[in-house]
Structure 1
């Protein structure tokens, strides 16, 4: 079956969004656990408990990030080229921070020395907190527009600098990202650990959850009142051969609210974000961490989809040359490429879901300090 080109373009926008949500819910949780490690674990045994809750899963969860990056490269090559040029140093910072995770997990237990293990614990903190913050900062910059333009050969030229990315709104978006993943991880630790770690995690759920709700609300208000959005005023047919320079784009106040005004049902997305976070806090405080994890997953999904729906059809707006902005309809690969990749995704995304579900099902139990101390041969 050959799908219509216009339909495929939209399907790939949805698929990439699904991959990012899968990454945030699974590997983002692992990052949050790494961020909390030095603070919720008061002894070496307690920190080993925390690490062992994600030890069997973290490398499999990274498949979501790798798959999302590969999907962007295949489906949106212009976005991949422009983003990795403009955000080059930010991406390197996230990548180098991520290096601490596999090395930290594997090397931490090799030497029974307090200073050695403490050093790797802080390495795991960096490997969790820095990427979570950087990814949020990157998205905050997308909502404001990125300083780049395309020449007549569609070659991207980035005209900004690294420190320009660290603007106030982007930093707030980074804090939203970090806060939601920390809260999500805290619910996980409350569910998967015994006392006293579970009690500390329970308190962290409330703190991080309330912080994320406040930061998400502030970011939404700031975006509404203080940041102009982008709007396509003219472009070829949606199934035309992609060429970003054949459209016209305007910067318009309140444009990021257009989709919500045109399609009121999309207001369910921010409501899902707020309701999911709030319900996760409530369930956590009532010691229903299992349902709380589901609620926090829905909250994370709601936050991501809220931003995606606000920007649609934009993927990477240009602040210096709006007509060079990359959107769903003109930043994509050929019809054949999208078709082949679509069927590949129909095969492998369900396999990833099945594998992830199987691993969590088989290893679903609480990890306790007594178990860790009794089985000193455990890997982490």
Structure 2
């Protein structure tokens, strides 16, 4: 009871905003290197044996890593229902592409080695490439569109009509220049992350190729991230809440008055401490690139994780308290203060998170400890369970 009284509606909303960010970062740090490895597969493995080595670096862990993706979707559904309703309907076709690509991954793992034919295996290798590269790109495109705002509105009775226009046109509108630049940031940073993972788990020619490609990908990620920041500062209008902000009121976005103008970078004047996020992003990427060039292994993967954490955190901290701005009706924009579930729902979910998230973390740590070590050709020959 004391804990329930201490956890005010305002506090719970901020906690679940933070937890959503943690889950998304957790997904990028774990399943991110899975996607990066998949996208690198056709380029770092020149022979069938080399490609099997690459596949088996992620084969035992990719399913567990996707738990973070499921947790993130569940958190949006339960803690931020309006966000779930608007985003899943508006980004429907893009999400379908992501899911279709992700489905190729388990199918590719299971069927690739069912036949000996070179063409058969090569086709499944490219399917695994699609399963890694497409989600990595589309996730970034989605973030780019969120920063620009998306075309939705909320009616006075709090209904959320689907976006106007046909599905193909909506998808094409999502693929605008700034969103594609954000997609490049996402794809290149996960390629770097995947290369860092291969640097840790492989040796010889595969490791060297991965480190070479990862170095280039890291440089591209840093440059694209910098360009996106400049574009965001001078070419993308931000959103601000006008007047008094009610942080513990009902979840009704229409009660707030929002303006669409100025710059998102105003957040750095209002909260100067958030500059730590882009600093960590550039520092982490820079150290990861240096580690890839020097052939470092464990430290490179850790630096890569730091850079990704900085990039994702900078988006959330820059936009706060906005979660999903509206270009059609700024007053319909979803914020931390007016688009959450009820106080009781957030509290009960927090108790569940306190219980189960540590269990997931402990189990994940144990799995990686058991699977520690490099994947070698000798291991493929002696392990009947390898892909």
TM-score range, shorter chain: over 0.9
Contact 1:179 1:208 in 2 (8 A): yes
1:41 matched to which residue of 2?
45
1:131 matched to which residue of 2?
135
User: Which of residues 109, 116, 135 in structure 2 aligns to 1:112?
Assistant: 116
1:314 is the counterpart of 2:318: no
What displacement does 1:376 show? 6.6
1:226 is the counterpart of 2:226: no
Q: What CA distance in whole angstroms lies between the structure 2 residues aligned with 1:351 and 1:171?
A: 37
Q: Give CA deviations for 1:187-218 in whole Å, capped at 9, x if unaligned.
A: 11011101010111111121000010000000
2:31 matched to which residue of 1?
27
User: Which of residues 255, 258, 273 in structure 1 aligns to 2:266?
Assistant: 258
1:102 matched to which residue of 2?
106
Secondary structure, aligned partner of 2:66: helix
TM-score by length of 1: 0.98
Distance verdict in 2 for CA 1:336–1:376, change over 3 Å: closer
Q: How does 1:148-187 map to 2 (within 5 A)?
A: 148-157=152-161, 158-159=163-164, 161-187=170-196
What displacement does 1:371 show? 3.0
Contact 1:235 1:246 in 2 (8 A): no
1:365 is the counterpart of 2:338: no
Secondary structure, aligned partner of 1:230: strand
Q: What CA distance in whole angstroms lies between the structure 2 residues aligned with 1:366 and 1:162?
A: 41
Runs of at least 4 residues off by over 6 Å: none
Q: Give CA deviations for 1:274-304 in whole Å, capped at 9, x if unaligned.
A: 0000001112222222101000000000000
Q: What CA distance in whole angstroms lies between the structure 1 residues aligned with 2:245 and 2:374?
A: 56
Instruction: Flag structure 1 segments of 5+ consecutive residues without an equivalent.
Output: none
Q: What CA distance in whole angstroms lies between the structure 1 residues aligned with 2:69 and 2:109?
A: 18
What displacement does 1:154 show? 1.3
User: Which of residues 66, 69, 88 in structure 2 aligns to 1:65?
Assistant: 69
TM-score by length of 2: 0.96
Contact 1:84 1:91 in 2 (8 A): yes
Q: What CA distance in whole angstroms lies between the structure 2 residues aligned with 1:309 and 1:27?
A: 23
What displacement does 1:44 show? 0.6
Contact 1:209 1:281 in 2 (8 A): yes
Q: What CA distance in whole angstroms lies between the structure 1 residues aligned with 2:113 and 2:20?
A: 36
1:214 matched to which residue of 2?
223
What displacement does 1:106 show? 1.1
Instruction: Flag structure 2 segments of 5+ consecutive residues without an equivalent.
Output: none
2:345 matched to which residue of 1?
337
* Pairs aligned (count): 378
What displacement does 1:369 show? 2.5
2:386 matched to which residue of 1?
379
Q: What CA distance in whole angstroms lies between the structure 1 residues aligned with 2:243 and 2:124?
A: 54
TM-align CA RMSD: 1.1
Distance verdict in 2 for CA 1:358–1:40, change over 3 Å: same
User: Which of residues 195, 200, 205 in structure 2 aligns to 1:196?
Assistant: 205
What displacement does 1:259 show? 2.0
Secondary structure, aligned partner of 1:331: coil
Query: Which stretch of structure 1 is more off in the superposition, 284-293 or 161-170?
Result: 284-293
Q: What CA distance in whole angstroms lies between the structure 1 residues aligned with 2:72 and 2:383?
A: 37
What displacement does 1:343 show? 0.7
Q: What CA distance in whole angstroms lies between the structure 1 residues aligned with 2:61 and 2:383?
A: 20
Q: What CA distance in whole angstroms lies between the structure 1 residues aligned with 2:54 and 2:91?
A: 32
User: Which of residues 4, 7, 12 in structure 1 aligns to 2:11?
Assistant: 7
